[in-house]
Structure 1
Amino acid sequence: MSLINVSNLTFAYEDSYDNIFEEISFQIDTDWRLGFTGRNGRGKTTFLSLLLGKHEFSGKITASVDFEYFPFHVENKSDITLDVINEITPDYLHWELMREFSLLQVTEDVLYRPFDTLSNGEQTKVLLAALFLKDNRFLLIDEPTNHLDLNARQLVSDYLKTKSGFILVSHDRAFLDNCVDHILSINKTNVEIQKGNFSEWWENKRRQDSFELAENDKLRKDIKRLSDAAKRTGSWSHEVEKTKNGTRNSGSKVDKGYIGHKAAKMMKRSKAMEQRQQSAMDEKSRLLKNIESSDSLKISQLAYPKKQLVELEHVSIYYGEKLVCQDIGFTIEQGERIALSGINGSGKSSIIRLICGEDIHYTGTFRKGSQLQISYVSQDTSHLRGTLTEYARSNGIDESLFKAILRKLDFSRVQFEKDMSAYSGGQKKKVLIAKSLSEQVHLLIWDEPLNFIDVISRMQIEELLLEYSPTILFVEHDREFCSNIATTIIEL
């Protein structure tokens, strides 16, 4: 066991006026299985880069271990997998590698195949096995679940549960809950570490949020009472001061010394109340510091004149002579939220493309309602360019609603002015989701919409979908999201 010490860490990018981290300090035990969570853009990947020594910063990071980043960058993906592993870990023993492969259910024959012919899941498992063979290394595992299907996620999570000594960035709640024993969270105003898994951290956060909201409500009332009292006291002292130059009701001269003394006491009391009021306001500014919330939104979906929107009967899809999926049958009716589930390569995206109107070779019966309006969220975000305002206008959507949804998903107003090409992967996916929710359509079709999106935003997207109950067909490997959203699961 050893410690990684972070002391008074402050960092900002050269072209930024704002610090990403400011005077943060904490310790990490190198035996921990540490889950790393926080909103998109809060600095998770930046912190990993700082540990790797990629940027200059003020403060200090000390550690008696070396850091390794996952996924390891493979320069020549056409190389045989065995050569890729030798590049990562030159001095490993073959039996040790086979032990790791056994835990990850990887067969030995993948060693002799070109790395780029392996599936995403196989590549993830091979790289993890190779990196965990290194001695005296602390692994920085950055979003390993992207593009892994449910079965592969469970397998990798079970594997990580047998290990120790890593930071894991993941937005999959079930994945984190299964394999971590501490949570490092980047909040709105601080960085903190708690013992336990994600669900335990989230429950503690909800309790803290509830406490802060209750304290905030009490403080609002107290500030109003103090403000009213200060105004009354200020008014009293002012009225008393005015009598210094007048006369008493009896007609005798006023005692200016007495009146002045009384006014001074009144004024002193008023100033004291003002200080109490300011102190209370200062205290209020420290409350609600980490609450992730925003206003509710009014979103509506077009009603279709018929109950049934789409029907597939005994549908099989082919790419050339290759059979992709066989004998698929289901219907989509208004109000349904349908999850397409299955291993990678089972035909989920092909079914989506068929419903969206692409020219795909199929057999069987496929019916789609006439003039059915569909909003599609693809996995690809590379086309996003320009400002949000330009994007909203070019797509004919309500700019105010579009930006309100993004605000709910933690977009700062500064982001509204930036070019979308500079956004993170998670921020780009939020743009596509906000656009889809803003469109006047009958059916939403989302293909792996949550890749790169932070866990709190995932929960807020759940809330939006449950609140206004659109008709939606989606592919998503986040087990919790599917469980919470889907009214029907179609297993391929």
Structure 2
Amino acid sequence: MEHLDQKEIQQLLKKHAPGIDEVIIDYVQGYLNDAAAAIVTTGERDADEDPIEDLVRPMLEDAGSSDTGVSTLCAKFSQMLTKVEQNSGTQKKAALAKLAAPVNMAAQMAQISKATKAAKGTTDLAHAKGRTVASQVDVKKLRKAEARIAAKLEKRGIKSRYEASKLINENPLDDDELLMKVNPVLDYTSTRDKVKDIKLDSFDISFSGKRILTNANLHMTYGRRYGLIGRNGIGKSTLLRNIAYRELSVPTYISILFVEQEMAGDDTTAIRSVLKADIFREQLLRDEAAINRELKSLEEPSPLDARGEVMSKHEIEARKNELGDQLNSIMSKLMDIESDKAEAKAGAILNGLGFNTEDFQRPTKSFSGGWRMRLSLARALFCRPDLLLLDEPTNMLDIPAVVWLEKYLRTWSSTLLVVSHDREFLDEVATDIIHQHSEKLDQYHGNFKSFWSTREERRKNQIREYESQMQYRAHLQEFIDRWRYNANRAAQAQMKIKILEKLPELEKPEDDKVVTFTFPNPEKISPPVLYMDGVTFGYTPEKKILENVNIDMQMDTRVAIVGPNGAGKTTMLKLLIGKLDPTSGIVHRHGRLRIAYFSQHHVDQLDVTMTAVGHLRNMFPGNTDEEYRRHLGAFGISGMTGLQEIKTLSGGQKSRVTFAGLAVQQPHFLVLDEPTNHLDMESIDALTNALKQFTGGVVIVSHDERFIDSVCNQIWVCADRKVTKFAGESIKDYKKMICPEVD
């Protein structure tokens, strides 16, 4: 079988499409070989198929090659296939002459078997150099083209030597493996002088058939800290994943780390898991250990070389010198990255995020999901990648940890892109705000307060500019309509038409959608409504979590419970609502009292295969679908969103579904554990207003300062197994008390 010159193909691609990824070069080589194999088999090209125009040209154009380069390459490749066709025509004539001769099937099968074994050595994209590519080729078109080619080859009795493209692997890697492939071990001591600004122009992003961004631009200057904001379900997390997995063209020498979810637990200790996150340092330490082992083996009598032969003194000395140079280079890099201080740095980060010194040696599998999320954050902060992506990092943190994280990120020297709905956090951390809306990204200099005032002014200017242009357009159109057919004014009318055609198309700024939450007001019930008297609780007798707790709540109670993680805040809420029974003491609830409880892990209690309407129907039967949709609409789940499967909704939309379920219960008391974690700013404002208007009791556990100040008039501190009323006036006073260094 005739093969194309692979080296020639590679040289042509690199010459006429400079900068093209190795993975695409390998794919084009394999694809052209399959096309050549089909020609050799049939003796001629398929009149219905042009492999160059059908797939190679679109692929090269998608990869960003110039039109001239693409045309030149396609012409060259076409000439190659034409030459194969001419040669195969000669071979076909010779083959026809042999048709009358006896066929030795055994010999032919042996040859086929030999050829098949040899073909297994063809290029494998999984080992191609460069970044893992997913966006430079239209995967849907590629899959269709390959299916068509495979069908034709099968019809001709040919097995493709290249199989199918690794670009459309149906068994994708999991998140950790994919991130490792797209972020290989980088020698970051050699990239310090490179420009690490990120400039992404005119890109589109879609997810599950929904357009997230259209012709968007994103520019990030190295060393700036960007806060990404936008409504729930707008696609903020999708944008972060596209950057992290290098679906967008971020330079390969820029290291990226994405903290999205908790790390998997195993027997690795907490401190070791943080140290292992710096894969460059780990590689240097492994190389150092390997060299030291080999140097030690060279000191033994009669050391052997790689071939198993005894080395001469000259060979031993030469090898020692070579290893010594390598070791010096490694030691220099370890000193450069201050490897000896790594454990102290990791310990400081863990301490700041709330881990005690004794926790450092605990296996990661012994921590809860919230604490493993903190470990993920600690690993990222320790690595100090060129671009750090954080998705709602404060959700699992208590107030001291949030304060520490704010201080730490203010000193962050690399680029930071963080999704957050915590306005106080963004005011402390962000130097720039990126607002995602209407399938586009708008960038603003300054923190959130600066964005809020600038955005409103920019929006007013856009409205004025739009209205002014509409009036001008109307004026031009009126003149054109009036004088177009008047001989004396026809020239002026034509001039006005040209002016009208050249006016830029301005879009009317969209109106801000108003989000409203509504909780039905309950009927009054007489006191005592809800209280604890001498309550003590522990999951085991020897380890008490709460001790001798005394609290009294009425229908007008508005209380926030604060305190460090693990102090027992959630346990106290569960005792209040009756999910747990006290070890000793009394929890009294009025006989007619209805309590609605919002769990911090409410998403785990949703059947994600059901629709939002189906969830309410299943939990609270007896109403019509129209009534359930009305309940959902009161919390921003309107239209077709209520008929989507819950797994397709964003975290904030899932929270809204849960709030709608609470409203159906018509509670006297709302007990909310971290209710703002997944809500966007508009939804937090809507929840705040709804709780202000609600005439029943409200108990919340939260670290959102603005939310607490707006809703609650009392603060209770849960710490050291006690629950006590805070003497200060606001959450800021509590913050100053526990973090006195904060202004």
Query: TM-score normalized by structure 2?
Result: 0.53
Corresponding letter in the other structure for 2:240: L
1: CA distance between counterparts of 2:397 and 2:714?
Answer: 21
Structure 1 pair 350–81 and aligned structure 2 pair: CA distance change class (3 A): closer
Given that 2:612 and 2:642 are in contact with CA atoms closer than 8 Å, whether structure 1 keeps it comes out as: yes
Q: Which residue of 2 aligns with 1:354?
A: 575
Displacement after TM superposition at 1:186 (Å) = 0.8
Displacement after TM superposition at 1:333 (Å) = 1.4
Structure 1 pair 212–95 and aligned structure 2 pair: CA distance change class (3 A): same
Indicate whether 1:83 and 2:309 are aligned: no
Displacement after TM superposition at 1:54 (Å) = 5.7
1: CA distance between counterparts of 2:700 and 2:254?
Answer: 43
1:65 to 237, 246, 254: 254
Q: Which residue of 2 aligns with 1:44?
A: 236
2: CA distance between counterparts of 1:296 and 1:424?
Answer: 18
Structure 1 pair 157–298 and aligned structure 2 pair: CA distance change class (3 A): closer
Q: Which residue of 2 aligns with 1:461?
A: 687
Deviations 1:20-63 (A, max 9, x none): 111101310120122222222212221111112364x6xx5447
Structure 1 pair 115–95 and aligned structure 2 pair: CA distance change class (3 A): same
Q: Which residue of 2 aligns with 1:4?
A: 198
SS of equivalent residue, structure 1 residue 155: helix
Q: Which residue of 2 aligns with 1:184?
A: 434
Given that 1:35 and 1:184 are in contact with CA atoms closer than 8 Å, whether structure 2 keeps it comes out as: yes
2:635 to 395, 406, 419: 406
SS of equivalent residue, structure 1 residue 12: strand
Indicate whether 1:483 and 2:709 are aligned: yes
2: CA distance between counterparts of 1:20 and 1:94?
Answer: 45
Which moves more between the two structures, 202-211 or 29-38? 202-211
Given that 1:5 and 1:28 are in contact with CA atoms closer than 8 Å, whether structure 2 keeps it comes out as: yes
Structure 1 pair 210–303 and aligned structure 2 pair: CA distance change class (3 A): farther
Given that 2:377 and 2:393 are in contact with CA atoms closer than 8 Å, whether structure 1 keeps it comes out as: no
Corresponding letter in the other structure for 1:150: I
Given that 1:110 and 1:118 are in contact with CA atoms closer than 8 Å, whether structure 2 keeps it comes out as: no
Displacement after TM superposition at 1:404 (Å) = 1.9
1: CA distance between counterparts of 2:240 and 2:509?
Answer: 28
Indicate whether 1:115 and 2:304 are aligned: no
Q: Which residue of 2 aligns with 1:162?
A: 411
Corresponding letter in the other structure for 1:2: K
Displacement after TM superposition at 1:107 (Å) = 5.4
Corresponding letter in the other structure for 2:669: L
Deviations 1:333-373 (A, max 9, x none): 11322212111222222222122122413323322111111
Indicate whether 1:434 and 2:660 are aligned: yes
Q: Which residue of 1 aligns with 2:677?
A: 451
Within a 5 Å distance, the mapping from 1:197-236 to structure 2 comes to: 197-208=447-458
Corresponding letter in the other structure for 2:199: N
In the alignment of these two chains, the number of paired residues is 445
Displacement after TM superposition at 1:208 (Å) = 4.4
Within a 5 Å distance, the mapping from 1:362-401 to structure 2 comes to: 362-378=583-599, 379-382=601-604, 383-385=606-608, 386-394=610-618, 395-396=620-621, 398-401=627-630
Given that 1:3 and 1:64 are in contact with CA atoms closer than 8 Å, whether structure 2 keeps it comes out as: no
Structure 1 pair 208–311 and aligned structure 2 pair: CA distance change class (3 A): farther
1: CA distance between counterparts of 2:539 and 2:378?
Answer: 34
Q: Which residue of 2 aligns with 1:241?
A: none
2: CA distance between counterparts of 1:312 and 1:51?
Answer: 50
Structure 1 pair 198–469 and aligned structure 2 pair: CA distance change class (3 A): farther
**How big is the alpha-carbon RMSD for the aligned residues of Structure 1 and Structure 2?**
3.9
Within a 5 Å distance, the mapping from 1:86-165 to structure 2 comes to: 86-90=275-279, 91=281, 93-99=339-345, 101-102=347-348, 104-105=351-352, 109-118=358-367, 123=372, 126-134=375-383, 137-165=386-414
1: CA distance between counterparts of 2:529 and 2:212?
Answer: 47
2: CA distance between counterparts of 1:327 and 1:207?
Answer: 54
Corresponding letter in the other structure for 2:244: L
SS of equivalent residue, structure 2 residue 365: helix
2: CA distance between counterparts of 1:301 and 1:384?
Answer: 28
Given that 1:101 and 1:129 are in contact with CA atoms closer than 8 Å, whether structure 2 keeps it comes out as: no
Corresponding letter in the other structure for 1:344: N
Displacement after TM superposition at 1:120 (Å) = 6.2
Corresponding letter in the other structure for 1:199: K
SS of equivalent residue, structure 1 residue 301: coil
Displacement after TM superposition at 1:457 (Å) = 1.8
Q: Which residue of 1 aligns with 2:560?
A: 339
SS of equivalent residue, structure 1 residue 193: strand
SS of equivalent residue, structure 1 residue 344: coil
Structure 1 pair 164–467 and aligned structure 2 pair: CA distance change class (3 A): farther
Corresponding letter in the other structure for 2:268: D
Structure 1 pair 137–352 and aligned structure 2 pair: CA distance change class (3 A): same
SS of equivalent residue, structure 1 residue 330: strand
Corresponding letter in the other structure for 1:8: S
Given that 1:315 and 1:363 are in contact with CA atoms closer than 8 Å, whether structure 2 keeps it comes out as: yes
Displacement after TM superposition at 1:400 (Å) = 4.2
Given that 1:340 and 1:489 are in contact with CA atoms closer than 8 Å, whether structure 2 keeps it comes out as: yes
Q: Which residue of 1 aligns with 2:520?
A: 300
2: CA distance between counterparts of 1:134 and 1:340?
Answer: 34
Displacement after TM superposition at 1:310 (Å) = 0.8
Structure 1 pair 204–459 and aligned structure 2 pair: CA distance change class (3 A): farther
SS of equivalent residue, structure 2 residue 198: strand
1: CA distance between counterparts of 2:375 and 2:515?
Answer: 44
2:545 to 324, 327, 330: 324
Structure 1 pair 453–299 and aligned structure 2 pair: CA distance change class (3 A): closer
1: CA distance between counterparts of 2:602 and 2:424?
Answer: 25
Displacement after TM superposition at 1:100 (Å) = 5.1
Q: Specify which structure has the higher proportion of strand.
A: 1
SS of equivalent residue, structure 1 residue 319: coil
1: CA distance between counterparts of 2:441 and 2:709?
Answer: 30
SS of equivalent residue, structure 1 residue 20: strand
Given that 2:431 and 2:445 are in contact with CA atoms closer than 8 Å, whether structure 1 keeps it comes out as: yes
Q: Specify which structure has the higher proportion of helix.
A: 2
Which moves more between the two structures, 86-95 or 122-131? 122-131
Displacement after TM superposition at 1:418 (Å) = 1.0
Corresponding letter in the other structure for 1:102: A
Corresponding letter in the other structure for 1:426: G
Q: Which residue of 1 aligns with 2:699?
A: 473
Report which of the two structures shows the higher radius of gyration computed on alpha carbons.
Answer: 2
2: CA distance between counterparts of 1:111 and 1:120?
Answer: 16
2:645 to 410, 414, 419: 419
Structure 1 pair 51–470 and aligned structure 2 pair: CA distance change class (3 A): same
**Percent same amino acid at aligned positions?**
20
2: CA distance between counterparts of 1:136 and 1:295?
Answer: 37
Structure number with greater CO (CA < 8 Å, separation at least 6) is 1
Structure 1 pair 392–169 and aligned structure 2 pair: CA distance change class (3 A): same
